[in-house]
Structure 1
Amino acid sequence: MIFSVIAFAMMNAVVKYLGAFSVYQIVFFRSIGTLVFTVPIILKHKIPMLGTNKKLLILRGVLGVFSLTCFFQTLNYLPVGTAVSFRYTSPIFAVIFAAIFLKEKIKLVQWLLFGIAFIGVLIIKGFGVDVHLIGLIFAILSAVSLGLIFVVIRKIGNTENPFVIINYFMLLALVFGGVMSLNNWKTPDLTELTLLLSLGVFGYVGQLYMTKAFQSNETNTVAPLKYLEVVFTIIIGVLWFGETYNGWTLLGVFLILSGLFYNLFVSKKVK
């Protein structure tokens, strides 16, 4: 999961940098860059491309496209670190959905710790940096759908190859992004094309290791590690975009990480 969040943090920064392109065109190139990896691997190892849990695979793909599109829209309205901070309330939704749909056991102290992490996000919203309402709405929609994705992947478990799961997501993103960007296409130069295709590379690494993480352990143990992306992205935002974050923002991040790491300790005792 740590490899995953570093890759996603880099992808977020590149998307922010490519703000002149439409969200749909970015989704389109994001999918191409990943399919370049997944399709040859699937063909080389003769992995059944359609998988066995087709309904769950399609559901994961649809949720992925929706979450990705909403998040990329968020980056048009909010600083990259703030956008990621809001989006990654998703582990909270993931644990709630896992308790409802997967019957995973959650201790009372874990709910308290998730509450502390969520208070950290609220502090960032209320006292950190200016928050655009439309950006906040997109971020929450992305978080809810991402929480559902965690649970769907956990439901699929080890019955599907990770490359098949990723391939469904990227094929749906390719079609959706391509169709939606037809009326608003901007031809990239060589540098922009390289950056657009790099989104797929970062996304591929992020998706692969995230999928492996959720296939190997319970949602309430793995999902909170997504909060680390907040830290990595804030650092990138400061160094690359010159974004500033005040003391309230740092307090919010501290609360998020405090809730995260102690929850990891507590969750190992949950049976």
Structure 2
Amino acid sequence: MDQDGERTPLTAAQNPTQHPPPHRRRARRRGSQSNYSATREVAGALLVACSAACFSMMALLVRVGVVFKENRFASFQLVLSRSLFQFFAATIVLLWIKKDPLGPPDMRIWLVIRALAGGFGVVCLFYSLSLLSLGECTVLIFTMPIFTLIFSRIFLGEKVEVVDGFFGVLCLCGIALVAKPHLLFAHEVTHEMQQRLLGTGAAILAALAQASIYIVIKKMGVSVHYMMNVMYLGILGIVLAPIGGFVFGERRWHMPSAAAEWLVFLGVGFFGLLAQVFISRGLQLCRAGLGAAVTNLQIVFSFIFGIVFLDEIPSGSSMIGATIIVTSTLGVVWNKTTPSRVSFEERRGST
């Protein structure tokens, strides 16, 4: 290697482990980041879909508990059941993994805000389910994606594309066809209008609360363990349930006695817990707009549960609406997570 006291450089044959040029290394990193980002989006969307299924089962049990049982539960009693499940389960998990249940000091205010919004939304949802049918309540709750897209644009600066708007409008059309609520289609004022107005107002407030939850979770990011969100929500629910029961006159609470009553009482808490775990983690992985769109699957799950558990045979318009919802939701997921689109946007941003 040394000739006349001078050192000669290694040739390509002598150095078999050559590194690629810098521009190739940058392109390779961009490709791996794009695939990782797309994988996170898909994983988050799947978790949100699982949350929608659990929320639908919980809503079904609430509806059964407050309407169809001889010894009806007060809606706020079921709020308490769900909150107790969430608080104890989340606290046990956080202590097991050696996480401070109160969360990072700089994030505690966001955890409180998220819990306030979530607790208020749960109270409004359960109260609305005691006044409106499952379909009517669900379709009103799912005005939430519209509020979420607006909030994500204002507070997070997320881009809202024309395609997102198209699929969002298409999804709302499907929701209307599935639920066929009297509040949207009826031309007559019935004797139940006062209850309907109260139930409608509660459902819209729940939709606004849920939309704000998406924004708060995205603000916090992944630095806050998702079980902390669940625990804080449980605490607020435990506090708000007795207050709500007193304010709205639901003061006749009773302990479950029959097996079916225990199934409803405990099932509300169990499925509510699973739904919160899935939604809290899922929204950390995907964008707020995508998460809001995927939650529309809750309409489809409610539609299926109505057939299986309540013997509610859907009409042709409901079948068409369910198809539209699934199609539009899949369209949004494809638009947000296609690797070729992500790569193109990154290449365009790097030029």
Structure 2 counterpart of 1:174: 238
> 2:154 and 2:321 mapped to 1: Cα distance?
28
Among residues 68, 78, 101, which one is paired with 1:49 in the alignment?
Answer: 101
> Could you tell me which residue of structure 2 aligns to residue 186 of structure 1?
254
For each residue in 1:114-149, what CA deviation from the matched residue of structure 2 results, as whole angstroms up to 9, or x when unmatched? 112223334433459x99443332222211211111
Q: Give 3-state SS (helix, strand or coil) of 1:176's partner.
A: helix
Is the Cα contact below 8 Å between 1:127 and 1:249 reproduced in 2? no
Distance 2:220 2:99 in 1: 16
Query: Does 1:140 pair with 2:204?
Result: yes
Deviation for aligned residue 1:11: 1.0
Query: After TM superposition, what 4+ stretches of structure 1 lie above 6 angstroms from structure 2?
Result: none
Structure 2 unpaired stretches of 5+: 1-47, 67-71, 346-351
TM-score w.r.t. length of structure 2 = 0.71
Letter in structure 1 aligned against 2:99: I
Determine the C-alpha separation between the residues in 1 that align with 2:313 and 2:205: 25
Question: Per-residue deviation at 1:199?
Answer: 1.6
Within the candidate set 46, 56, 62, 1:9 is matched to 56
CA offsets per residue over residues 91-134 of structure 1, 9 Å max, x none?
Answer: 22212111110001111121122112223334433459x99443
Q: Which residue of 2 aligns with 1:208?
A: 277
| Alignment partner of 1:27 out of 79, 104, 107 | 79
Q: Provide the C-alpha distance between the structure 2 equivalents of 1:222 and 1:181, rounded to a whole number of angstroms.
A: 32
Q: Cα 1:46–1:178, aligned 2, differ >3 Å: closer, same or farther? A: farther
* Displacement of 1:258: 2.9
> In the TM superposition, what are the counterparts of 1:37-76 in structure 2 within 5 Å?
37-52=89-104, 53-76=107-130
Alignment of 1:236-251 (within 5 A): 236-251=305-320
**In 2: Cα distance, 1:144 partner to 1:181 partner:** 22
Higher helix share: 1
1:18 paired with 2:69, answer no
CA distance in 1, matches of 2:244, 2:329: 37
Q: Which amino acid aligns with 2:96?
A: K
Q: Is the 8 A contact 2:86 2:233 kept in 1?
A: no
Identity of aligned residues (%): 26
**Cα deviation, residue 67, structure 1:** 1.0
Aligned to 1:158: 222
Residues 76 and 127 of structure 2 are in contact (CA less than 8 Å); yes or no, is this contact kept in structure 1?
A: no
Match in the other structure for 1:224? 293
Which protein has the larger Cα radius of gyration, Structure 1 or Structure 2? 2
Residues 81-120 of structure 1: pairs in structure 2 closer than 5 A: 81-120=135-174
**Residue in 2 aligned with 1:79?**
133
C-alpha spacing 1:245/1:138, structure 2 compared with 1 (3 Å): farther
Distance 1:252 1:83 in 2: 16
Using the TM superposition, give the Cα deviation of residue 229 of structure 1 relative to its aligned residue in structure 2, in angstroms. 1.1
Asked whether the equivalents of residues 162 and 211 of structure 1 are also in contact (C-alpha less than 8 Å), the reply is yes
Q: Aligned partners of 1:133, 1:238: CA distance in 2, in Å?
A: 27
CA offsets 1:60-88 (integer angstroms, 9 cap, x no match)? 11111111111112222333234223212
Mapped to 1, the partners of 2:258 and 2:140 lie a distance apart of 33
Letter of the structure 1 residue corresponding to residue 212 of structure 2: L
Ranges in structure 1 where 5+ consecutive residues have no aligned partner: none
Read off the aligned partner of 1:11 and give its amino acid letter: M
Deviations 1:131-190 (A, max 9, x none): 944333222221121111111111111110111111001111011113444633223215
Q: Could you state the TM-score of these two structures normalised by the residue count of structure 1?
A: 0.90
The 3-state SS of whatever aligns with 1:104 is: coil
- The question of whether the paired residues in 2 share the 8 Å contact of 1:79 and 1:237 is answered with no
Q: How many pairs were matched up?
A: 270
**SS of alignment partner, residue 18 of structure 1:** helix
Shift of 1:196: 1.1
CA contact (8 A) 1:66 1:142 kept: yes
For 1:39 and 1:194, how far apart are their aligned partners in 2?
Answer: 23
Please tell me whether the aligned partners of residues 152 and 288 of structure 2 are also in contact (alpha carbons under 8 angstroms).
yes
Q: CA RMSD in A?
A: 2.2
How far the C-alpha of 1:48 sits from its partner, in A, is 1.0
